[in-house]
Structure 1
Amino acid sequence: MVLPGPSSTQLGRSIASCLNVELVNVELRTFSDGESKIRINADLSEKKCIIVQSTFPPVDSNYLQTLMMVSYCKSSGAAEVIPVIPYMGYARQDRSFLDGEVVTMSLIAKLFDCFGIKDLVTIDIHSLKALSYFQSNIVNLTSIPLLARYALNNLELKNAVVVSPDQGGSDRVKLFADIIKSPSLCMRKVRDRNTGQIAIYDDLDLDVAGSDIIILDDMISSGGTIMKAIEILKKNKSGRIIVMCVHALSDESALDKLRKTGIFDLISTNSIPRSCSKIDLSDEISEKLSTILAK
């Protein structure tokens, strides 16, 4: 059975269709004080239950609703519970950067481990260190080949260069660039740990004049880093600029601000339902789930 959580209704339905299994309706009621109530009106006894719920903003509410669904499945006698969390919130809080900080990703992992979760599926988690906190088998799928094939088939690229807005995305842009057979570069970003202020160095290691640019990142949050990168690339006389990411965390108003910078296109996966979610993850997730279910 597939149980699409309130944050991932359409993706959950698509996964159920791909797997050709029963779809279970999950009802959500939100009270005036912000509390959530989940209702699952189905016999889950001895069933293998796949819960699909992305934990984008409001992150805390979506996580708690995920745990509510996991708890109900377990207490109802489900044979197995497999959470699919396309966007794993709190993965950026994978260590203590300053004295006194809570490592929230460790807490999240312990909550899932408390329910005896054996398998969990996520997509392009921000930090591989975050995976180390789980005792269960965490499958971290990558959507980068999907994004690259979309670019090849739909964007009519000219002398393309794949750009990461920071050094942390080097492996990501290299994989993407290898697939579309283009060069890549990483911009140099620094962040003040106390204030959160971001700066990107203007000098680039590659001449991008006249080249189509694909700015690739795992997530767009406020959009500030991407807008700084766009400004620098335009100063270097780049051609069209296409922004691609796995997880579009930004709300629609922030995405519109990004579009107003004059970019050619803005593209993400449907790990988070947004207006730019043009790449469907359901086939890849379903293929991996089929392997897990066959064990």
Structure 2
Amino acid sequence: MLFSGRAHPALAEEVAQLLGVELTPTRAVTYANSEIYVRFEESVRGCHAFVIQAHPAPVNEWLMEQLIMIDALKRASADRITVVTPFYPYARQDKKHLGREPISARLVADLYAAAGAHRLMSVDLHAAQVQGFFDGPVDHLWALPVLSDYVMEKYASEEIVVVSPDAGRVRLADLWTDRLGAPLAIIHKRRDPDVANTVAVHEVVGEVDNKVCLLVDDMIDTAGTICQAADALKARGAAKVIAATTHPILSGPAVDRLRDSAFEEVIVTNTLPIADDVDLDKLTVLSIAPLIARAIHEVFEDGSVTSLFGGQS
């Protein structure tokens, strides 16, 4: 049985259609004091429940709604409960940088377990170690095949260089280079030693002159870093700059920055909903629903999720 929170119903409906099932009718209400109430309108006894919820802003509200749904399923005698969270909430808070800080990504995993979840499914975790925070199976799905197939088809006749926007994304960029058979470039950020209190100077390591530069990352939040990286590539002679990223958070000034940026095209998936008022001609949104639907099918049939990625997952 498939259940959807209210954060991104369009994605859940597409997954349900691909699986050939109906979303279970659910009554969800937010009361005047902001408390959430959930009740399922069909029996769930003995079922394998898949609870799909996206986590755009306000993240805490949608996380709490999903936890309440899981608790309701547990108390209604669902046999197994799989959490489907395409964008894992608090994924960037995966370790302590300073004393007296939380590890919020671990806390979220503990909350899922306490609510009654048996399994987690997510797409492109910000940090791989998050898989170890949940004491149960975690299906880490990769959006790379979805994004790269589109890039290979559209830019097949052009000379592509895969670019990592910083040192922390080099492993992701390596996967792209293997997939596309393209060379790698890295943007190194440093502070200008000759000017006090300056932002980073962007140095490009690799050959990008007259190339189509593909900037890859797992998410676009405020878009500051990736737009600065695009400017640096254009300044060093890139013919075109495109971006491919899984999670379109698009907070605050992100849309304006992308609209005014050097990007030819910004390619994302629909792990998060795009607001109706987003006006960005260069934005291409690819559906992650077929990947999630195939993974759900494999889990339900006790098949292999890893087989979806040729052993990569």
- Please state how far the C-alpha of 1:199 moved relative to its aligned partner: 5.1
CA-based RMSD: 2.2
Distance change (3 Å), C-alpha of 1:199 and 1:33: farther
- Output the CA distance in 1 between the equivalents of 2:269 and 2:200: 26
- Please state how far the C-alpha of 1:198 moved relative to its aligned partner: 10
Task: Give the stretch that moved more between structures: 285-294 or 119-128.
Answer: 285-294
The CA deviation string for residues 196-253 of structure 1, in whole angstroms up to 9 with x for no partner, is x995542222121111111110011111111110121121021111111000111485
Matched, 1:56 2:56: yes
- Please state how far the C-alpha of 1:43 moved relative to its aligned partner: 1.6
Q: Would you say the 8 A contact 1:187–1:200 is kept in 2?
A: no
Matched, 1:136 2:143: no
Q: Would you say the 8 A contact 1:177–1:183 is kept in 2?
A: yes
- Output the CA distance in 2 between the equivalents of 1:260 and 1:25: 43
Q: Would you say the 8 A contact 1:4–1:10 is kept in 2?
A: no
| Letter of the structure 2 residue corresponding to residue 289 of structure 1 | I
Q: Would you say the 8 A contact 1:190–1:198 is kept in 2?
A: no
Q: How many residues align?
A: 290
- Output the CA distance in 1 between the equivalents of 2:124 and 2:198: 23
Q: Would you say the 8 A contact 2:189–2:202 is kept in 1?
A: no
| Letter of the structure 2 residue corresponding to residue 149 of structure 1 | D
Where does residue 285 of structure 1 map in the other structure?
292
Where does residue 112 of structure 1 map in the other structure?
112
Where does residue 261 of structure 2 map in the other structure?
261
What is the percent sequence identity of the aligned residues? 25
The CA deviation string for residues 231-289 of structure 1, in whole angstroms up to 9 with x for no partner, is 21121021111111000111485223212213111110110122646221122212221
Q: Would you say the 8 A contact 1:259–1:265 is kept in 2?
A: no
- Output the CA distance in 2 between the equivalents of 1:87 and 1:199: 30
1:36-55 equivalences in 2 (<5 Å): 36-55=36-55
Where does residue 97 of structure 2 map in the other structure?
97
1:119-268 equivalences in 2 (<5 Å): 119-156=119-156, 158-189=158-189, 200-251=200-251, 254-268=254-268
Q: Would you say the 8 A contact 2:186–2:206 is kept in 1?
A: no
Matched residue of 1:101: which SS?
coil
What's the TM-score, normalizing by structure 1?
A: 0.91
The CA deviation string for residues 44-75 of structure 1, in whole angstroms up to 9 with x for no partner, is 12222111112232111111011011111111
Where does residue 13 of structure 1 map in the other structure?
13
- Output the CA distance in 1 between the equivalents of 2:152 and 2:3: 34
| Letter of the structure 1 residue corresponding to residue 254 of structure 2 | A
- Please state how far the C-alpha of 1:157 moved relative to its aligned partner: 5.3
Q: Would you say the 8 A contact 1:157–1:212 is kept in 2?
A: no
Distance change (3 Å), C-alpha of 1:157 and 1:259: farther
Q: Would you say the 8 A contact 2:185–2:207 is kept in 1?
A: no
Q: Would you say the 8 A contact 2:220–2:249 is kept in 1?
A: yes
Q: Would you say the 8 A contact 1:247–1:271 is kept in 2?
A: yes
- Output the CA distance in 2 between the equivalents of 1:133 and 1:250: 27
- Output the CA distance in 1 between the equivalents of 2:178 and 2:86: 25
- Output the CA distance in 2 between the equivalents of 1:175 and 1:199: 30
- Output the CA distance in 2 between the equivalents of 1:161 and 1:200: 23
- Please state how far the C-alpha of 1:32 moved relative to its aligned partner: 4.5
Task: Give the stretch that moved more between structures: 245-254 or 140-149.
Answer: 245-254
Distance change (3 Å), C-alpha of 1:198 and 1:69: farther
| Letter of the structure 1 residue corresponding to residue 171 of structure 2 | D
Which structure 2 residue ranges, 5 or more long, are not aligned? 192-196, 303-313
- Output the CA distance in 2 between the equivalents of 1:112 and 1:198: 42
Which runs of structure 1 show a deviation greater than 6 angstroms over 4 or more consecutive aligned residues? none
| Letter of the structure 2 residue corresponding to residue 131 of structure 1 | Q
- Output the CA distance in 2 between the equivalents of 1:54 and 1:202: 34
